[in-house]
Amino acid sequence: MESLSSKQYKNEFVTTFPGDDTGDLKPRQTPGVLYSRADPTPVAKPTLLAWSEELAHELGIQKPENQQEVDILGGNYVAPTMQPYAACYAGHQFGNWAGQLGDGRAITLGEWEAPTGKSWELQLKGAGQTPYSRRADGRAVLRSSVREYLMSEAMHYLRVPTTRALSLVTTGDQVLRDMFYNGNPAYEPGAIVMRVAPSFLRFGNYEMLASRRETDNLRQLVDWTIDRYYPHLQGENRYMEWFKEVRDRTASLMVDWLRVGFVHGVMNTDNMSVLGLTIDYGPYSFVDDYDLNFTPNTTDLPGRRYAFGKQASVAYWNLGCFASAIAPLFNGTEELVKELEAYADIYSAKYLKMMENKLGLDQVKTADIGLITRFDETLAALKPDMTIFYQLLIDLPLDLTSDEELVDYFSESYYTAPTKAQRTTLAGLLREYIERIKQNTCTREESQRRMREHNPRFILRNYLLSQAIEELEKGENSLFLKLQEAIKAPYSSNSDAFFSKRPDWATSKAGCSMLSCSS
């Protein structure tokens, strides 16, 4: 284990690509460079609030033992071999080209080489202004930082590809924020998350270079990305093979989000990882009631572009933007378009495989596609609690025959009592499902085991996060600590104290359902 302060950091991104090394933090356009030097802005009093022991062990990082190391996590001290920077990228936001964006409140300190030889970028979120902060202050509040810290780790334990979070510190400063962009700003306690990933490269990094017609820089970045993160791709056709892998990873990620009921809330192209990771946790949420039209982002209203049920199609649209960005590297775009259009079939195949496991089927047959579709349609109409419904489905007694017994078995999951028509539809679906389960070639126990592995029993619901944040703001951390443990075993019954529907009061309470992009 090595300490944060004594580590010899790598800085390969900085030493490989052109950057603005002036250290000037004034917001501005930065053509011709891929990053700008950005030292963290000191805060009043960095205090360690949370530390991910498991991630630290994986990376070989020793828990801070003195204030200097806590100061690194809070941006008050930069180790001698760190070369902090903010990346320059662009993006399409809510379907519109936004031009230059960049790391407005994230500063990458350097690259940490783990005992395995794998390098991880260490990045502070909320460490102060950068040249890409535009009109913002580069700070983050405790509310958004707790959400990022806990959710990053929760997604990891759910087996969903994600960036990670190593630490959470409070800053001792107050930060002015308008939680809902509705003209009611208020001061909130400041905080900083150290987040970790092999790379934070996103579609927007390549879009930026293409939009500025910096083809040499674009080619260099693509070559570097492939060499570093896709080294198995060799030969003259490796650009196309790389695009196909990014496409496939993106499709897999969308399927995983649907599997656990996750809604990102702001799927702009600058929030799409080129490694297929969940990145940039803002106004996210898990769905409570199964609502394909649910969006947790107030900024996404009224169009609901990034609603739960639209995420797979948005990913396809974003991949189209990504393909356009790297198109200058190809002699023609016919094959690129063909591979982009293959997304639909690839996604569908991955989705059916996921539902095979979620429903406990031994193998999806052609006839099962209709059954899976009816599950989706029935749940969308009935809107039960998604997590609880699927947990109950695992242990559904196969000897239930009457409509009343079948429908009442799931009563724990209902937010609203089913209508007579809905009861009839659900009962018919469940009878069909039972008959299909009986046709499995595997045992019932094997079917249930697979269902338990793919259906989470604990999810980090927004109202629980809101309660934990309120407690922390009062100096209490009991719920926060319980959630920090609960996220580590989401497929077990260890945290059944949280196995319940969203309470009625949380439906309309601020922060328990929807938030703004700056959450």
**Which residues are known catalytic residues?**
270
| Number of other residues whose CB lies within 10 A of the CB of residue 15 | 9
How far CA 313 is from CA of 156, 207, 243, 286, 474, in Å, comes to 24, 20, 17, 19, 42
The angle subtended at Cα 401 by Cα 361 and Cα 261, nearest 5°, is 40
Token pair, residue 80, equals 């001698």
- Distance in Å from the first CA to the final CA of the chain: 34
Q: 164-177 and 186-197: which strand pairing?
A: antiparallel
Residue with tokens 């794998």: 118
Exposed e or buried b for every residue in 181-194, given b needs 16+ CB within 10 A? eeeeeeebbbbbbb
Cα distance between residue 125 and residue 104, in whole Å:
9
For residue 3, give the 3-state DSSP assignment.
coil
Token pair, residue 499, equals 């196995």
Cα distance between residue 513 and residue 121, in whole Å:
32
What are residue 252's DSSP bridge partners? none
Q: What are phi and psi of 358, to 5 degrees?
A: -65, -35
What lies within 8 Å, CB to CB, of 184 at 6+ separation is: 178
Counting every residue, how long is the chain? 519
| Number of other residues whose CB lies within 10 A of the CB of residue 439 | 11
Residue with tokens 């630490």: 167
Percent helix, percent strand, percent coil in the chain, to nearest 5: 45, 15, 40
The angle subtended at Cα 137 by Cα 124 and Cα 516, nearest 5°, is 85
Q: What are phi and psi of 493, to 5 degrees?
A: -95, 15
Which of these, 163, 18, 145, lies nearest to 87 by C-alpha position? 18
What single letter denotes the amino acid at residue 93? Answer: Q
